[in-house]
Structure 1
Amino acid sequence: MDSKLQHYIQRTPGYFWSLEDGGEVIAGSNGGGTIVYTPLLLQTLEFILPHGWPPLGALLLAFAATNANSNVTDLLSHVRASCSRMAKGNRTEPAYIKEAEPLLHLLQKLPAHYRTGTARMQLMQVLFCKSHNRLGVERISHWLPMLRQTGLQATPMPGGPEDEQRDLFFRRVDKDFQCLSLLAQKFRNEAGILDALSGLPEIKEEPELPELPVAGNAAPPTDWLEALLQHPETFQAGALLQHLWAGLSVPVLFSLPEEQPAGGAADLTNKGSFDRMLLSEYANDDMVLLSRLANNEVLYLHPEASHASDDAEYTVLIDVSLKNWGNCRVLGYALALAIAKHPRVKDAIHIQAVGLHNFPVAYGNVEEVITGMRRLDTGLHAAAGISGYLASQPDNKKQQLLFISSEEAAGHIEVQKVISDHYHRFVCWIMVTATGQVSVYRKVQKSRKLLQQMTLPLDILWQKKLPAKPVAPRPVAPLSEEQVSAAATYPILCPADNNIKKLLGKLGDYWIVTGTKQLFHACDYKDKRGWEWMPYKIPDNSSLFDLCVNEQGDKILLCFAAQGKKVGLLNLRTGNCDMLDFPEWQLSSHPQFFHIAHTFYYIKGDGCWTIQPGPQPAIHRRHAEADMVQHYNDYEKYLTELGDTFNKVGAKPWMKKLKSLYINTEGQLVLNDSHVLVLNHRGVIKWLQVSAERKRSAVDAIYYENENLFVFPDGSNVEVSNKGFVILKMVKPDIEELYDVIAPSQQIANKMEYLKKYSDNGRIDSSLSEIVHLIGDKPRVVSTFSSLLKAEAYIMQFSKTNIVLEAVKVQSHQDVYIPLVIDTALAIATPHYFAGNEYYLPYNHKSVVVRDSADLYKRTVNYFTSQIIRHGA
């Protein structure tokens, strides 16, 4: 971590704030209450970044003053007590503390609207935009990605002499409170702050435009489930309902007495454990009893679950706290809807979402379901929400509670205490995981019993696509020649980069706009795979972005350029980009574009603009609905959640400023006279620090900076891509015939047994251990031969195994792609072959995977360097 950043976020012993819950919460020292959640602080720092950052302590005190339950008085008392304790000689309590106090009390009295959501971040921006002791944007521009990775996990100030600790403490107090005291002189009353916040002119209200009729005769779906499946925001939950209805077993479904007879013949079964076998069976002699056991004729006692009370009132509590966002939250809503709308449930069931707060969830139609799913909660656990709901409800024996959460969130000590205190009111607990596992527990006397476990195939269920609505055909512009050549797509994924301008999409399907205005796609996270570069040109000067799916199922990227006030709508399937003028755009307190369903929105004051991506792109102005700001806030929270799930730790250092390239006397490529490309004894390819003995040059390349190209004397060249790799291009290859024997992808359950059965008494030359890995889901190279005759003879050995092998002539004259990431395992790829670290293997690859990286390295990189030395030295 940058030492200056470390100093900025370090915690000073005796100061007023500390970190709790693994760095997720910034709280007052010694139980001083929550000041701010770390994600919200980082979001605010990003928001005010163009104006610089104030001292961290000053910003935290402003957050404390604007909290609903402000604890700023306690924090000031703590600071004063620490000053008194550390005072020595002429060093006493700084006058800045008393001078800053009026501003903090003034912030406490601001209207609630200015102390929540985006308005609160704008308040911080107005307060600190020209504050004393602030850090300039040039200095801190690279700090924010680091903070998003590590949080505020800086170590406390190191221990030292008492005088040194005292000086560090008072320097921090002076810097923070001097900033606030000067702001107190600038903002002396509430009107001064509100005037600064209302500096932008308001747009005069225009008459609301009438809604245009939708072309076509397609009527909206009337069926509740069908409506959920057709809407992109409810599709994931709706896709799970039929599977849950078919397999879910919870007590609330046993509400029909005629379906659950108590006692009688229904309690007898011919399956069970011996401790439940009827005593009358022992009346038979031994042979008869054994015969009955063998033929499954023995009777066992199996009492069926008693049905629920006819007049019970059921409430489903869904945990929507921070630990349950993402898949767990979608599963929770799907389970609640499956219970409430099950065909066998006759009575109405109430659904309540709980987190730090609690709120009811309506589910009568798709709009109500969307409203419920959009509401998120920032609590770390659901204890407060459960307590608040139970406190508002009378202790009613008829009321039965079902709680839906994850094992991790439900295991929090405060949640367990709340449930324990009201144990008699719960009848069922349903635990979920992000991978789709559902565990149903039922209350049996004073304990919980596992009633059922099931796993939902989320990947399969969520692959279903929404049915496209019929629309008039529209000609699609083909890719330009430049785009087509660029889209001759790379046979390698690009290494991740920390320079992220905007992250969009959804869990497992990320779209990234980098600071260099390039577009990437990532289907995986947690460092498992690299990024796929998308061959589309983002409109010039674009600074704001959003992503939605249009009515035809195509992803549309909105790109807005404030310079020129133009909106670009880039179709990520066709590459076509529609450009629209947006002359009415003005900077707003809600500056981001956002989307609802298939339409983009922008709001400013009472005005709202809709941007329709197609089939006829257009921008219309209308009056902003009352809940539009809530939609905006929900979407901002969603993007924050998305950023939290996206792991950016995988970004590795690149070699970006390349100035020299040569081949040393050992036939290795050396870049910048600092890193050499090597193949180690384990077959791993790496760029490593070059040693002195490897710096002896055999052939130098000339660097053409304008073209990002290194050219060797024989004409062979190395192209440097700004996407994180180099491309080796040979112009004078020697003719050498080689043939690969390739095993295409094929699935056989027991690989070893299959090969042993058909190995023709061990006559196959290669060992089973070398061959068995080739039967799988990727085409792989089995072996390489110098002639077609030898390759076909090898294939004949497997004629009795039913394993499909084929001989393919090797093309030596191929471009070679090598990542520029240093000190880590790399891959090499050609248009037809791939070897090495599968982090770089494309998602839908068609390459043949070579098992031995050394083999492909020798026939590509070594071949490239040896030909240059032979022809160009």
Structure 2
Amino acid sequence: MELNDYFQSYQDYFWEWTTDEDVPDSSGYNENNLISIPGIGAVVYRAYLIEILKEFQLMGLPFLTPLLLALYATNEGYLDLKGIKTGIRKHPLASHEYVKHVISPAFQFLETLKSLPAHYKRSKNRVLLLQTIFSGAPAAVSAKQSEYIIKTYLKSPQKLVDAARKTELPVSVFSKHLNILATLNDKFSSARLILEAMKGFKDMPEQEDEVVQEETKVETGKDFIRELIEEPRTFQVGSLIKRIWSGLKIPMRHLSPGEQPIGGISDMTNKGELHRMLLSEFAYEDEIFVSRIANNESLYIQREIPPEENIFQRIILIDTSLKNWGTPKVLAFASAIAVIKHPKAHSECTVFALGQNNIPVSLDNVDQVIDGLNQVSPVLEASQTVDRFLNEEHPQKDLEVFFITHQENIAEQNLQKVIHENRDRLKFLITTSADGELNFYKHHQGTRKHIQKMRLPLKELWANPPKRSRENNFHNSGIKTLVPKNYPLLFPTPKDRIQTFLYEGDFYILSNKKQLLKTYLSDNYYNRNIYQNISTQKGCEVITEKISVKPRGQFALAKDKAGNYILAQYQPDKKILSKLNLNLKEYSEMNLTGYNIPQDFNLIYFNRNFYLYRSEVFTVFKISIEGELSIESVKNHNEIIKNGIKTDVELRKLKNKGTKILNNFNKIGINSVEELVIDKFALGSRSENVYSLTRNYEKIQVFANQNKNKFTFDDGSEIITDLRGMLTFISSNKNIPVFYMPSTHYGYMALATEKEFGGSEYYLPKDSKLKIRETDEMYREYMEAFIKHVLEYGA
């Protein structure tokens, strides 16, 4: 194969040779110095492509097109593989039977390459990656021909001008290029298989650690650490990190060959390729020369690839068992972040919280740190989880594991045994204590070495926790927090309403807030000895909101065959009849002036139709629910009359039923007797298992800061208000699940989570699957825990 045959470009193909005039080439030939994809962007500069091909010289050059696609898939930054795939599918030959079936698996393999961690796609690791995958594919040319092609290019790079002239693409070439990638997809169906193959393809030389011993100087701008300090929930962690940095003496990274200085003795190696051998080595006689090669005494120039990181993964395990709760856990997370975010740290790092199970933890932003701090486990010690993590779930050898636990835990027999048995993999051990002491140990050649002790002045560092200013946070955003359409418990039913309906045995309310609500009667409606007046009826759920209707005239409600709610409206004064599909928002109306409809006719629903009706008359008007709005005169009969009487009787059960909803949220806080205060009312126990909002007479000691409908306490806990009559409680302690409480002036209260309910049956949804619990238990476990967590912040 000749030079031009290998680098040949084709008509209507996805890639082409182009020229970047701003980038001169060291060969002196500056034309056709870049391969790019029209409409997508650059793939690779010619100079770098040649350096890559040199690495394939001894094993044979791979086909150029699959190599280019692999290079593109391993480029950094935004990649548009979908755009390339679309362009290939538009090629005239893409419909050929030998081509169309291999496009998807080919690009599936490219997506797998794209998904690899970034450090596997840089510098020397990238070369190793490409060599690994293409070692499983047929070479385009033999090793001997590869050497010839490379030498020809180095001697006369201008010969590429012929390859840049596009020729017609044979279907066999098109099929072969994609088939290679499809075959690789079968061999490397996942990123894990590729990484395992890389580890077996070439042994990486071991390097000494670089240990950071000097005091670290850090910029004090608005960085991640500053964000942690300014957030009350992460203040304690953030305030420790820079103090830990100042004395940290553990290695921040491992050096790879590519990071060694280039040039001089430090760039020499005792193994390599013949064309990299020092010229002086050839001066020896043959026998001595062969002997030196056999004993690895010959010297080679290791001038291969730009600096890079080793294939290396660092894992930090944080013990969340009982002894590591509280201050020790804060120290543990501060130590972990100090290692991960250290200015000289470049290694890939993964964090797990270990208790009963191992839970992946991300520490890249404030919210993730808060979530991590809320990870707790009730187990006494985590030895079983550590052992399972190292020997069953992550048995691979290319890991450097940090284990952070309480100082007393390492004396525990089971944990001590696990640490000793895995000392070759638990490279660093960090211990914490409640008084701020950190101890760093390193396992080296089977023994544990104490690196350093660090005592953090917790009282000094935590002396001034940040406080959210009420003035600065009051209405500081124009965005209202979104609330759900419905909750696990029912809304209190409003007293103010436009009209109440009975449809197919179900009660509906058209409220003054332009909502369609569905409500129920209690199953114990007739047992007046058990329930208060309010409890004869249940609360309501929202069917639809923001109904575009004027509160005038008469209304009737039904469903069409498709299940859509249809609201009919009749305005006698204007003689206008209208129909609104509440689901599809379709509206139609007609003028009834010529129909001579008496003023005392009422709009009702009966038997799949609307009627303008009065019981004493002979003729009534029927209005169809389905299709276009129309009206016709029909004979009145007894069934309509009976239905009307029955409907009136049933609707009287809901007459004047409803409760006063609390929706004036000027202030929310906690009073001196640790009760939740909402405006003028405090939530307290009135008797066993009975809680309600009544007038507050105690001093409010903690206020929440208001931002529209969200009230936030200094610890980060939130209460979101809903004017329809509901409160959502979100604690900053993630062990307290989100829970809900109705906001009403009158009647017994209820609390509910997504799984449990306690309180008045009034708020329990019909056919609910929530677990029913005692109200006192629900209050202690959720509301009381919420209040105590707020009060304990900063104490």
Q: Same fold (TM over 0.5)?
A: no
Q: Which has the larger radius of gyration?
A: 2
